[in-house]
Structure 1
């Protein structure tokens, strides 16, 4: 690829002149504003022809006209093929997030069920991230809850181990999972490798969508056990069959059990769009996911859908078939790019019948519902922000709210949280936690002062924008600390508010502290402004508590081992690595502990007595 860039020259005529010199080759073009910001990224089969079209007097959409008015410079990258240009375009959009491109917000990898089929006794587990290494991956699933729910059902039907390898290798007796019949205890030899492999094969068939074959095999084995008068075994197999049929009933199943496809439907209302994706694997639905891409005003559904397909699938393995609810431009080019990225055949279809048509209709219906729910939520959120503006005597609703809370247990492992909200809800990428050090245990005022100082020093250095409202979970003392920090750092223009719980600590009885705590107000329990403040406060509390528990747990894990004579840092590290954590050490026997390098029998006895004495 060859990158071409010229010095900015103002004026449409100058741009037209430069565009006439562009090559008639495939590539990617970038539109820049006067500030040098990339405002649009596009790809073209013929760069000169495509970029020239922006500066001709032909009729354009309102979105394109606004874009052209802001263009101060054009940069291009020449590629060998149009498919290469499509991949580069997608990468640049993800990197720069231009204002006039359709942007996909949620670009996380999907979770999978992982089966370590290469091991002697394979395990089932949750996996998110790159699918590398030995073993098999089943999915993708729309979210982690869908994976964990499926794993829970599978464990009831097929007692395949789900424990970590470090835990499995160091067992001397069965764990609780065996006692409740969720595992057959291969760790201690309670099941033969042949029988365990048979259960693994059944799991693989089920996850491949071949549950009918699994049920038929289980029925055969049940009847055989009954003929041999093995009634307990026959009863266990009967229960497995009943559980499998129950799982089947929870899913819509297509007629073709070999279907592996995604159903993608885009529905737009006004300037808001929803893309709904249904995941079909082995003819069964694994669930669905809603996406709300940022769309420039006036974007068409087909353009939104085309942008979504490129951003969503390039960079991850696409299924063999993607069914969409409307045609998109350059469909063949997109298929070619997806084949290159996935390393296999990928077909994009929109004219479908039968089960596929019903899936598309279901996806469209879900997209419309999600849009309606989001619209109602957005309207409610705007009412809350408008009501809050009246409370703080502001001409306009706050655009950014930051809230702080402190969490500790009798002064132990103190953690402060900072959560951020804007008009669309929580901005989790801006959340921060602060481990509080060098203050008197239990001194919430000093902890708040330290957290605020550390936060707003960074804000002053440009790490994050200043909030319009600083919300403190606490009373006059905490609010006074916040005012001191803002004054020390010379920060003006930030509204300050405290939210203190009532005497009974019941929701709806909070007191709001304004004007540095000099003015107190109590809003009605049904006040939209109060509901917003409660939401932000509760999120700060949740984030602080979870951070505190993590820090406290880590400190206690380390301290209990530090109390054991003869157990130095290297031996502690060896124990934690060998057993996978403090829980594994707690469950280990003396013989298990003595197998760890550097742990002799008398030390193993002391470790065991520390946890069980």
Structure 2
């Protein structure tokens, strides 16, 4: 059925979700509506024959529309988000997983709470602060905090096994609660100071420290008074570096948009207690209406494990702003407002975010032009049939056939797409057979790619003619020959020089299907560097996973060497503690409390895991 034959009158007037599908049933777009009939009429009625983006780009590909009715608009929003994650439709927004942003977590309910750096925000009752733009940024913040409020650095079970406090205690950056050097009440005061500081209540912290400084000075404890003075200075210097941009306090995320054609740049400014603490940018492809763009972006971003603020400031109010606010409030646990300020300081913040988005768009454009030139050089030099917009590289890692794993790393438009990297545990191959292992990995990846309609333009294999022939066989078997370009990259060889004295390294060699001799790319060129980096990343990713598996298996096997621990008890321990790391960190008391583990076996296991004999 062509799009013009779809009758919007047949759709219900209730709230719900609609799925637009193509010729083969592939979901092209998922949307939600307060009134499905009205929303779909805007797409398919005769009056819709205008120049709107969705008419020009989406509707010519739509053949059927499926609807799912929900009780409320908020339920529709939640269902829409779930279906987008499930089907990953071509015309919906897909945010790449950004692993660079981190938050600080502290759980006041723990015994002697500690600070943790985390990448995900969970509804677990703990307090979260941030986000911080990088691990380096948060480390600098924590360095300042530990100087002022010396909380513990390590797990209590680890600290208590030591015979004396850690090095951080010796340098004044830990209060050693694990060894009784501070009372629970005093430690709780430190925790409250950290929470106040991270919450932006620096004035309260400074006032408390000044009172304490006066008290200890009056008691002639001048060394302690000097330490408190230094802490106050450190806080004041930190506050001076933070710019107040929104008087009145509160936590706000400010959204700015810049769009040119189908390309969109989104900037988010993070305002915490009135201070600008950082920003985050996303580059998107979007050819539909801006109202749907903003609503879809907010859903996608805040459905991830990120901090939800008190207010989200946007350049214009989407049609479902109230529903979005209700949904965000549910996620945060208290009221959240989605606002489009028209004047005043908050409107200026939205303009600032838009300027940031525009500037980043221009910067990315310059870098994109450079990357496009590199991709074109790769296409030309390696005689590819198309520009390698999506490149995938595969590698195999094992030690004498044990713990064989494969890795896949991906670049899109010349940039790493780390959220699409994949590990593979080899299932069907016994022993050290790299060719068979590569065959398994490639077939699993490409078979899934066919079903999900996500295939690379170009596959680079770490290896020479043998590995390339395996790839060619898989492509032929799956009917993909001619649809995906391929090459093998062989590491440089050691060769004798012309005079036979000493040795030299040959250049990297690229093997192509149907070509007898390898190609060389210009040494030091950007094209060679991009492909070498892709190969090296695949190797690193495979090796890291291989070592992780080998370390886990080595410890798991070693557990069975402990007297009183057999395969059944090893499995029971893993079920109880959840991981080998937690078994290793467990105290003797915690091991003894494990179900089905006799006291003697617990003592043997603890002695095995901690041969230094720490209690």
- Could you tell me the TM-score, scaled by structure 1's length? 0.81
Partners of 1:374 and 1:522 in 2: CA distance:
30
Q: Which of 442, 446, 463 is matched with 1:456 structurally?
A: 442
How many angstroms does 1:145 deviate by? 5.5
Partners of 2:48 and 2:592 in 1: CA distance:
82
Unaligned runs of 5+ in 1: 1-8, 441-445
How many angstroms does 1:289 deviate by? 1.5
How many angstroms does 1:211 deviate by? 1.1
Q: Residues 73, 517 of structure 1: CA spacing in aligned structure 2 closer, same or farther, 3 A cutoff?
A: closer
Whether the aligned pair in 2 keeps the contact of 1:267 and 1:301 (CA below 8 Å) is no
Map 1:565-576 to 2 at 5 A: none
- Farther-moved stretch of structure 1 (565-574 vs 549-558): 565-574
1:443 matched residue in structure 2: none
How many angstroms does 1:390 deviate by? 1.6
Whether the aligned pair in 2 keeps the contact of 1:105 and 1:292 (CA below 8 Å) is no
SS in 2 for 1:293: strand
1:6 matched residue in structure 2: none
Q: How big is each residue's C-alpha offset from its partner over 1:451-478, in whole Å with a ceiling of 9 and x where there is no partner? A: 312213324644566655443334xxx4
Is 1:309 aligned to residue 331 of structure 2?
no
Is 1:294 aligned to residue 285 of structure 2?
yes
2:460 matched residue in structure 1: 471
RMSD over aligned Cα atoms? 4.2
Q: Which of 323, 338, 341 is matched with 1:351 structurally?
A: 341
- Farther-moved stretch of structure 1 (222-231 vs 129-138): 129-138
Map 1:48-67 to 2 at 5 A: 48-53=37-42, 54-57=44-47, 60-66=50-56, 67=58
- Farther-moved stretch of structure 1 (503-512 vs 479-488): 503-512
Is 1:151 aligned to residue 142 of structure 2?
yes
1:538 matched residue in structure 2: 536
1:242 matched residue in structure 2: 233
Partners of 1:267 and 1:460 in 2: CA distance:
36
Partners of 1:602 and 1:149 in 2: CA distance:
42
1:3 matched residue in structure 2: none
Give the count of matched residue pairs. Answer: 590
- Could you tell me the TM-score, scaled by structure 2's length? 0.81
2:382 matched residue in structure 1: 392
Whether the aligned pair in 2 keeps the contact of 1:184 and 1:191 (CA below 8 Å) is yes
1:480 matched residue in structure 2: 466
1:368 matched residue in structure 2: 358
Is 1:495 aligned to residue 486 of structure 2?
yes
Q: Residues 165, 382 of structure 1: CA spacing in aligned structure 2 closer, same or farther, 3 A cutoff?
A: same
Whether the aligned pair in 2 keeps the contact of 1:315 and 1:341 (CA below 8 Å) is no
Partners of 1:473 and 1:416 in 2: CA distance:
11
Q: Residues 226, 416 of structure 1: CA spacing in aligned structure 2 closer, same or farther, 3 A cutoff?
A: same
Partners of 2:21 and 2:471 in 1: CA distance:
40
Map 1:53-202 to 2 at 5 A: 53=42, 54-57=44-47, 60-66=50-56, 67-106=58-97, 111-129=102-120, 131-141=122-132, 146-168=137-159, 170-202=161-193
Q: Which of 300, 310, 334 is matched with 1:320 structurally?
A: 310
Q: Residues 180, 568 of structure 1: CA spacing in aligned structure 2 closer, same or farther, 3 A cutoff?
A: farther
Q: Which of 258, 271, 290 is matched with 2:249 structurally?
A: 258
How many angstroms does 1:602 deviate by? 8.3
Q: Which of 526, 531, 555 is matched with 1:528 structurally?
A: 526
- Farther-moved stretch of structure 1 (267-276 vs 72-81): 72-81
Partners of 1:606 and 1:259 in 2: CA distance:
52
Whether the aligned pair in 1 keeps the contact of 2:265 and 2:282 (CA below 8 Å) is yes
Q: Residues 436, 547 of structure 1: CA spacing in aligned structure 2 closer, same or farther, 3 A cutoff?
A: farther
Partners of 1:592 and 1:334 in 2: CA distance:
45
Q: Residues 185, 532 of structure 1: CA spacing in aligned structure 2 closer, same or farther, 3 A cutoff?
A: same
Whether the aligned pair in 2 keeps the contact of 1:586 and 1:608 (CA below 8 Å) is no
1:5 matched residue in structure 2: none
Whether the aligned pair in 1 keeps the contact of 2:100 and 2:134 (CA below 8 Å) is no
